[in-house]
């Protein structure tokens, strides 16, 4: 089990292999397909992104309603394949890793390998557990998307598994 502080270092990324279990602590971005589409459109237009993605991790999820005593509601992973058309461009722009569930396309595997990044899988069915790992939530952009907006989460001991390592080896 690795306990890693974010942002990930080049050494962290190179050291991790498929099936490694990791606890992440620090800041992660959150966004799904509509956020990805908008970010890639901004990049294609040569416009600035609403936040830097360089060296960042993005988590594919949209939270459920937030209970009064919590920072966020249930926040389990969503299917990563919907982000596959956008992931290579975002990795070229500096994104180092993503978190979701399920297999990725060959184009994403190639982008992970080519950019020396990672793909983590989160445990499906554990949204309530993940909510307990979130210490703070911040809206970044695209508020019109509601719970699917671009957000930043501060997490502590957020459990994931390496599914594609920086060498392009995949658990799938």
Kindly give the residue spans of alpha helices, DSSP state H, lying in the chain: 10-15, 33-44, 87-92, 106-114, 127-131
pTM here is 0.96
- The pLDDT, as a whole number, for residue 156 is 98
- The pLDDT, as a whole number, for residue 139 is 96
Go through the domains of the chain in sequence order and give each one's CATH number. 2-164 (3.20.130.10)
Q: Tens digit of pLDDT for each residue in 22-66?
A: 999 999 999 999 999 999 999 999 999 999 999 999 999 989 999
Q: How far apart are CA 102 and CA 30, in angstroms?
A: 17
- The pLDDT, as a whole number, for residue 62 is 87
Kindly give the residue spans of alpha helices, DSSP state H, lying in 27-148: 33-44, 87-92, 106-114, 127-131
Q: Tens digit of pLDDT for each residue in 107-162?
A: 999 999 999 999 999 998 999 999 999 999 999 999 999 999 999 999 999 999 99
Closest CA to 120 of 73, 171, 66, 161: 161
Tokens of 17: 């292999």
């Amino acid at each position: 089990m690795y306990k890693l502080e974010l942002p990930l270092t080049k050494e962290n990324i190179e050291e991790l292999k498929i099936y490694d279990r990791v606890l992440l602590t620090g800041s992660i971005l959150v966004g799904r397909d509509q956020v990805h589409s908008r970010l890639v459109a901004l990049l294609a237009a040569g416009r600035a992104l609403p936040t830097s993605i360089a060296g960042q991790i993005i988590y594919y999820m949209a939270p459920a309603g937030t209970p009064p005593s919590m920072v966020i509601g249930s926040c389990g992973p969503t299917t990563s394949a919907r982000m596959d058309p956008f992931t290579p461009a975002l990795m070229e722009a500096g994104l180092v890793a993503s978190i979701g569930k399920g297999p990725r396309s060959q184009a994403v595997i190639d982008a992970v390998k080519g950019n020396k990044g990672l793909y983590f899988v989160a445990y499906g069915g554990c949204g309530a557990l993940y909510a307990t790992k979130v210490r703070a939530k911040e809206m970044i952009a695209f508020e019109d998307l509601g719970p699917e907006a671009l957000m930043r989460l501060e997490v502590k001991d957020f459990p994931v598994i390496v599914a594609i390592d920086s060498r392009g080896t995949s658990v799938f």
